[in-house]
Amino acid sequence: MADIKDAYDVIVIGSGGAGMTAAITAHDLGLETIIFEKTDKIGGNTNKASSGMNASETSYQKAAGVDDKKEDFFEETLKGGHGTNHQDLLHYFVDHSDQAIDWLADLEIVLDNLTITGGMSKPRTHRPHDGSAVGGYLVKGLKANVDKREISVITQADVQEILLDQGQVGGVKVEIDDQVREIKSQAVIIASGGFGANAKLVEAARPELAGYVTTSGPGITGDGILMAQDLGAGTVDMDQIQVHPTVHQEEGILIGEAVRGEGAILVDGQGQRFTNELGTRDVVSQAITDLPDHKARLIFDQGVRDRAKAIEFYAAKGYVTEGDDLTELAEKIALPAEKLVQTVADYNQGIAEEKDEFGRTTGLHALDQAPYYAIEIAPGVHYTMGGLSIDQDGRVLKTDGSGYIPGLYACGEVVGGLHGSNRIGGNSIAEIIVFGRLAGQRAAEAVKDKA
């Protein structure tokens, strides 16, 4: 506590990808910045991200011969959100996604391995070079850049209140080591994540989700939203909560979309496919929920495992069952072997004939490389699309429509509106970088304007 100054130019609440991006950006524009993280571990939910970061018209796509267009990225995200996305935010997001990839590369965070996620027509999901999970790699890379700049990161620092001074944000009240202290600042950036781990808020917004497992870490409880609301901040889409279709139920670990993007299929308790595995998350989740036992099994081969390196983490956790062939795998996971063998044969034949029985057009790789694997999954609360209302400058808007709260910015999952009623896989990592940079930039401009 003694090492913390009485005042900073900018205070960032939350040390996930959005918070660290905002802090690095603000620092590089000349502002003295500090990050307060309420848990004992940096990275927040970014640590859990596995699929990748969506972006269009990037240098990596061009090098790989992928002909992508920002207009397509916009339209497919809008379609995925059922047309309810805030289009001004969506335009900013899409238009700055390639710059965000380049910015990360400048920080020696290279996402040059391409895959595809549900709802997208082109490989625009960028992963680390070896195809591994994006989250841990991103957190490690951002933290290295935070450390290089000597930006203070204080863990187990519970921000309890955002302070106002004559209508302008003036700092925060934070508890560290059982001591409460007021730290002044000219701007505050809220990057504290959504509210997926706050069962009361989830149930209040969507009563039918009571009792669902969540993929969110224990710190993702909506604190930033609640503190901003105390200042009169508005919210949007709070009832739009994404249920992810493929969650291992034991610890709420998400099985990333890249596994399906690289060829995995979903089968029911009879060993049969029942949906387009790369449909939008809401559709696939509902299809699983409608099954008699409300769960499914991801089936994949060694080829998928080689291409989706995140599987090694799931295997280390004990989630992956292996069989030398499909018959052995079926026996181990109590499925009818004959039906599972036929299901995979039909899937492979559909690929050869370019006619999938469920209309799947992406992530099509024949499952023909033994051994074979399975992971049992079911839906879980994954992401809160709703949150604070912001404008295209990242400023938090007032609930009464009278403008913004001076000095208050927000980025990442704490913000609502971008995704509409359904988030596309790979868009959350893009969001935290694109809007983390925006918040840092606009906060720096505002502070300098006051100087």
43: part of which helix (H) or strand (E)?
Answer: none
Q: Which of 296, 314, 317 is nearest to 305 (CA)?
A: 314
- Measured in degrees and rounded to the nearest 5, phi and psi for residue 407 equal 90, 0
Q: Are 303 and 365 in contact (CB under 8 A)?
A: yes
Residue 7 pairs in a beta bridge with: 184
The three-class DSSP label of residue 168 is: strand
Q: 3-state DSSP: the chain helix, strand, coil percent, rounded to 5? A: 35, 25, 40
**Residue reference for tokens 């020696």:** 108
Q: Are 314 and 375 in contact (CB under 8 A)?
A: yes
Q: Label residues 386-417 b or e (16+ Cβ within 10 Å = b).
A: bbbbbeeebbbbbeeeeebbbbbbbbbbbbbb
Q: Are 345 and 279 in contact (CB under 8 A)?
A: no
The three-class DSSP label of residue 185 is: strand
Q: Which of 243, 289, 288, 248 is nearest to 265 (CA)?
A: 288
Our separate counts of H helices and E strands in the chain read 15, 19
Measuring CA to CA, how many Å separate 341 from each of 90, 292, 319, 373? 43, 21, 21, 13
The three-class DSSP label of residue 85 is: coil
User: DSSP states of 379-406 as a string?
Assistant: EEEEEE--EE-B-TT-EEEBTTSS-EEE
Active site residue 423: no
- From the list 127, 260, 281, 437, the catalytic residue is 281
Catalytic annotation, residues = 281
